[in-house]
Structure formats: structure tokens, C-alpha cells
Amino acid sequence: RKQEIIKVTEQLIEAISNGDFESYTKMCDPGMTAFEPEALGNLVEGLDFHRFYFENLWSRNSKPVHTTILNPHIHLMGDESACIAYIRITQYVDAGGTEETRIWHRRDGKWQIVHFHRSGAPSV
């Protein structure tokens, strides 16, 4: 089961790296919450905040991107929930990295993100 969580996390990051908002939304709960640098310490809820970056930033990024998940730590919370914390290394011309924690919840046999926290410099 822990490998399953790593795999869906890699698929989510691939959707982000490719600017694929449609795939991203399929892997996220519509009421997802997040703390991330672009929100300046505020809790954001839903997908509209994230849509802006897919439509205005990542869609313009034509640089090749390679992402690696380092030191994943998975906490299984029953059969329907899991938490993964890891270091995400993103390689491209201006390389950077972030620390991320994502909370997954399985509904109707499908894993979805319900909350995440990302640390690092804002992407804008």
C-alpha cells in the first residue's frame, strides 16, 4: 500500500509538471485545502487558487522538467487514508526544491488529495 501512495503522488506531480489541470483535478478533492508559499501563510481551499498557476504560469513553461521524490515517509491511517511527506527535487534550468506533505483519502476506490503543505520559495 505504501508503494501505491508513492505511485499516485508521482502521477500527481507529473500532472503538475506537465501543466495538466484536468488530470490534477481528478486526483484532488474539490474541497482540498493547502498551505503553500504563494498563499503567503494563508490556508487556501478548493482548486481555483491552483487553476490560476496552471493557466498562467505552468502553461507557459516549455522547459523540460524532471522531478524526483526523496526520502518518502508514508503513514497509513486505516484502509482509506494516508499521509506522505517527502522532499521534491525539481530539475530545470533554474533548479529548486521543496518540502511537501500530502494527505490522500480513498473514495470509491480512487485516491484523492484532501490537504497538502508545501514549503520553499514562491514560484512567482
Determine the 3-state secondary structure of 2 from DSSP.
helix
Question: So what's the pLDDT on residue 123?
Answer: 59
Which pTM value belongs to this model? 0.80
The neighbouring-strand residues paired with 22 are: none
Residues whose CB is less than 8 angstroms from the CB of residue 56 and which lie 6 or more positions away in sequence, other chains included:
none
**Domain annotation for the chain: domains and CATH numbers:** 2-119 (3.10.450.50)
The pLDDT tens digits of the residues spanning 39-92 come to 888 999 999 999 988 888 665 656 667 788 999 999 999 999 999 999 888 776
List strand residue ranges (DSSP E) for 46-107, in order.
Answer: 66-76, 81-91, 96-107
- Which percentage of the chain shows pLDDT scores above 70? 85
CA distance 23 to 15: 6
